[in-house]
Amino acid sequence: MERGDYNETDLADIQGDFDDEMRAFQPEGADGLCFVDGVQYESRTEIVDVTPDCFDEEGAKTYARAVLPVMPIETRAFTYVSPNIDQEHDMILPVFGGFGETSAQGDNHFLEDLLRKLQQKGYKNPLVIGMNPCGRATKEYSENLDGVAKIGLQDELNDVRLLTYYLWERGFLDGEGEICPIGHSMGSFNTMAFMEAMKEIEHIAAMRLETHAQVSKVIHLMPVSDKPRAFLHPSFVARIFPFIRKSLSQAWLSKKGGLDVSAYHHNRMMFGGKETQLDHMHWRRGADDSATRFLGLAFNKRRIFDVRELFRGKEYFQFIGMGDRLIPASIQDNWFKHVVGIAEVKDSDYIEGDYHHHSIPFNMTQDQRSDLRDFWSRVFGTEVDNEIVIK
């Protein structure tokens, strides 16, 4: 089986007693219903060719004309999960995976426990959006890895900004609800590109006297740092280089092929080699990624984001895995201190998951689920807010 080859029959063969109801984030064939504690959620997949003609706003059209020509793939995949996708939402959570990850890896326990916490808190119509920048999770992406190899870090961030405009123009970011972007690993960069686009949308909406949802919280799971050359850290180089040496040199020198990581090395990097065979599906639901993008992060020469402006007045929460063998804790700790030290955040916390490694397993143990549930409780609170309403 290849990465991205996750049809229903194969999943059943590998997963055994996997709960069909929680396949809501799977990009192919995900449309349907899922249930959490008796509450019904719709799930919908949108696979669309994103072109300048997709946009009504002239500024977005102009941006699309600048951004899209450098992207080898037009197709983008979004997954939406909500009690009612087409009504206004009181909490909107765009979820960005990390290097080589797709929204399909956010299925199952992660999605289930997140939805459960939101409904316990009293949100009536939350919307979780699985984001797949640059075409990940699409057939077109997996068939054009030579093109994928050329996607740089800034190319991806530009794509995220454009996809944010796409969601706004389709009404997903309208209303008076809250927005809480979630980013895992390199996906933490994408949350900030999303927030930059929301700043621009805020100005446009203000001029039009329109309302739109506001970013209130930001969640980073095992994040990276935009500190210059942070990932030339000796510990990080020693941990990752043996796993990617061959594919990195091939993709970098020839500019062909995605940065391929085998299931074995994926398990070693993401889970310390300690997870069960069921997490082979975590690798299967991922995608090859760009060596150019990876090197852009490793050799970053300057801070990319205006953290002071982006995080001012927001709540910021970070979750790290104590068993993370990929990104040193010092890098993640430094990033947290940078954000809360420079920005006037409304609230913040740094939570350590005793039973987690670098990534979130597709199937979590009870201890891992308990770790993450405690984190969700810290982020969203434990008391039901009866004032949350949908207009």
CA distances (Å), origin 385, targets 90, 120, 380, 381: 12, 9, 10, 9
- The count of domains in the chain is 1
Q: CB-based contacts of 196: which residues, under 8 Å, 6+ apart?
A: 161, 305, 310
CA distances (Å), origin 143, targets 2, 64, 73, 137, 148: 12, 23, 10, 11, 9
- Indicate whether 27 belongs to any domain: yes
Exposure class string for 216-245: b at 16+ Cβ within 10 A, else e: ebbbbbbbbbbbeebbebeebeebbeebbe
- Indicate whether 333 belongs to any domain: yes
Q: Indicate the pLDDT class of residue 391, thresholds 50, 70 and 90.
A: very low
- Indicate whether 82 belongs to any domain: yes
pLDDT tens for 133-175 read: 999 989 899 889 888 888 999 999 999 999 999 999 999 998 8
354: its two tokens: 């005793």
Return the CATH number at 97: 3.40.50.1820
- Indicate whether 384 belongs to any domain: no
Q: Indicate the pLDDT class of residue 20, thresholds 50, 70 and 90.
A: very low
How many percent of the chain have pLDDT more than 70?
A: 82
Q: Is the pLDDT of residue 390 over 80?
A: no
Please choose, from the candidates 240, 238, 298, 295, the residue with its C-alpha nearest in 3D space to the C-alpha of residue 265: 240
Exposure class string for 88-104: b at 16+ Cβ within 10 A, else e: bbbbbbbbbbbbbbbbb
- Indicate whether 174 belongs to any domain: yes
Q: HSE on the CB side for 301, CA within 13 Å?
A: 0
Provide mean pLDDT across the span 225-231: 82
- Indicate whether 171 belongs to any domain: yes
More confident residue, 234 or 212: 212
Q: Give the domain range for residue 245.
A: 8-377
Q: How far is it, in rounded angstroms, from Cα 112 to Cα 129? A: 14
Q: Which residues pair with 79 in a beta bridge?
A: 45, 130
- Indicate whether 3 belongs to any domain: no
- Indicate whether 339 belongs to any domain: yes
Q: What is the pTM of this model?
A: 0.89
Please choose, from the candidates 114, 74, 47, 99, the residue with its C-alpha nearest in 3D space to the C-alpha of residue 288: 99
